Amino acid sequence: MARKEVNRWGDIAVRYDHLIFISIDTLRADCIAANPCKLFPSKYRVQRTLETPLLDTVARNGVFLANCISSAPYTAASHGTFFTGRWPLNHGAHEFFNGAINCETIFEVARDRGMRTVFKTDFPVILGKHLNFTRGVDDYIVEDDDAFIESLLAPVASLGFAHFGGVHIPYGFHNLRFGGQTYLRKVEELEAEIGRVSMLPGDQLLESYRDEKDRALLLRYKSIVQHHYEAKNYDRLFDMYLEGVNYFMAARFEPFLQKLLNRLRDRKYLIILFGDHGEEYDESSYGHFNTLSEGALRVPVIFYGTDVPTRLVIDRTRAVDVMPTLADRLDWDRPWGQDGRSMKDSVWNDAPITVRDTFAQAYTSDTAEFVAFQKVLLRTDVRPGPLRHVRYKEAAYVGPHKLIRQNYRYSLVEGKWGLTPCEPFLELSQLNGQGGIPELISDPELASQIAASMDAYNKLLHRDDHKNVEMTDELRQQLNTLGYRI
């Protein structure tokens, strides 16, 4: 029996023994084989077959939202929305790495209702204390899947979150602890294709704490990615990504999920499994953080558990609605400022999906500036003040249309890459059918109307984010000291 407690609001505190969030970082919605809405085959010439058997079984035996739109193409902002039910501009962690969660999270609400809270992550730099993701967490665990299961299944009602970074670069492995010799051999194999790349990659950012050996291997992998991107080998990059999905599923995730499900067999539980963003490579997309393409924004969400029906939903849904759906299901009616709307009747009662307007934004900073900022952070474990960001791109989905507005460009000025403001560029698409591929259209009046909805959304943030990212002499000197040619 699930433990039931009555809290000070007088309602039932717990219906399940265990509520469990699971996120697979960088997992596209169409990279679950059971998803019938595949975008990538029409874009990339790849022959690799997706192999996600246990995840397919869970998707087919639960409610699978196969076309859910993330609120941002990077980890912090997206997870913040899943955990608060608020738009990134309202929950505080809207930028790539800045601000912090500033409102009540599901962990705080669950703990107030007598539940033990457990949080396991592969990315402690991003999903950790620096951005306030430890709020309301009783047991914070880094990169230990077995410890998560043991802590979650203690004899008390619990809310748990397990985050996996294995689909993120380096695709399939995460680090030497999980990838081992297979990871080393893969890097050597990839280098053999192109020859050893001696130049350090521009992207030297870290999501987890690594020793020098692990960091050096990650940078070798990122150099390979950068080489293929500069050569416009987008098909090869996407094949590397798909291979990583398959390896991660077989080597780490499916053994974890099977063990968890075996241990949950005699308990009442609800699992919400999701991706935070996807991955895309083309002339305007370098992985995910600087793109609002469908491949980066469409993420999977699966409700699975004791009393969850079976349903495939290919209508567009929103990440911001997941948290309100759970709160509604649990009769957690405390008003805590959610922006999303409940989908409970659609998830549990087969009611039609209401397709609502949704927004996504990409805030970015100058990469070299971010590298210097993070080196100080990793050395001192203290954030060295704010990191300047700009609203690089923004997207709005309204009815059957999607509008992307670009406000900045990466450009080469005096031999240095940086972000410069540009005249806002609008790209309007028609979303063809349920889960279909967007097609560019021209309708200036409609584009202007949807852009006005973007402007209204941006009023949630009461400050000017459109500031040019500049490289100061002090920062340039710091980078040169670290060995970068800036």
Token look-up 């150099």 returns 223
Residues 6+ apart with CB under 8 A from 237: 225, 228, 229, 281
Report the chain's terminal Cα–Cα distance, integer Å: 62
pLDDT tens string for the chain (486 positions)? Answer: 344 444 332 334 448 999 999 999 999 999 999 999 999 999 999 999 999 999 999 999 999 999 999 999 999 999 999 999 999 999 999 987 778 999 999 999 999 999 999 999 999 989 999 899 999 999 999 999 999 999 999 888 999 999 999 999 999 999 999 999 999 999 999 999 998 776 665 555 656 678 889 989 999 999 999 999 999 999 999 999 999 999 999 999 999 999 999 999 999 999 999 999 999 999 989 999 889 999 999 999 999 999 999 999 999 999 999 999 999 999 886 556 689 999 999 999 999 999 999 999 998 876 666 666 666 666 777 666 667 778 999 999 999 999 999 998 877 665 556 778 888 889 999 987 666 788 999 999 999 999 999 999 999 875 433 333 333 444 344 333 333 333
Number of Cβ within a 10 Å radius of residue 191? 16
Structure token digits, residue 474: 């002090």
Q: CATH 3.40.720.10 in the chain: give the residue spans.
A: 18-168+238-354
Topology at the third CATH level for domain 18-168+238-354: Alkaline Phosphatase, subunit A (3.40.720)
pTM of the model: 0.88
Residues 6+ apart with CB under 8 A from 43: 282, 295
Is residue 422 within 8 A of residue 410, CB to CB? The reply is no
Closest by Cα among 307, 335, 281, 313 to 109? 335
Is residue 314 within 8 A of residue 66, CB to CB? The reply is yes
